[in-house]
Amino acid sequence: MKTFVKHLPHYLTLFGIIFAGFAGLILFSYDKYFQLSIGVAAASAYVAWGVVHHILHKDFYFEILLEYLAVAILGLTIVFSLIIRS
């Protein structure tokens, strides 16, 4: 529990990034290209957040970057497929 509280500001920032991405997708549902841009921006912010978080805690490795990139690409693939299909 102590580690969660210690990292709470970082996790609140991550929650804000994800929330802003979802809110942008909903608010701009009329513009598919802008939604795609929001998805790319949210995925980029997620990767940047992960890199900064791990650098601050001095446990950043190249494999961690690849993991964040893989999750971001997977998320973008899902978001893009949902936007393009509708």
Q: Is residue 72 within 8 Å of 44, Cβ to Cβ?
A: yes
Residues 34, 28 contacting (CB under 8 angstroms): yes
CA 73 to chain centre: 10
Q: Which long-range contacts (CB under 8 A, 24 or more apart) does 59-63 make?
A: none
pLDDT tens for the chain, 86 residues long, are 777 788 899 999 999 999 999 999 999 999 999 999 999 999 999 999 999 999 999 999 999 999 999 999 999 999 999 999 87
Q: How many CB atoms lie within 10 A of CB 79?
A: 20
Domain boundaries, the chain: 2-85
- The answer to whether 80 touches 36, Cβ cutoff 8 Å, is yes
Is pTM, for the whole model, over 0.95?
no
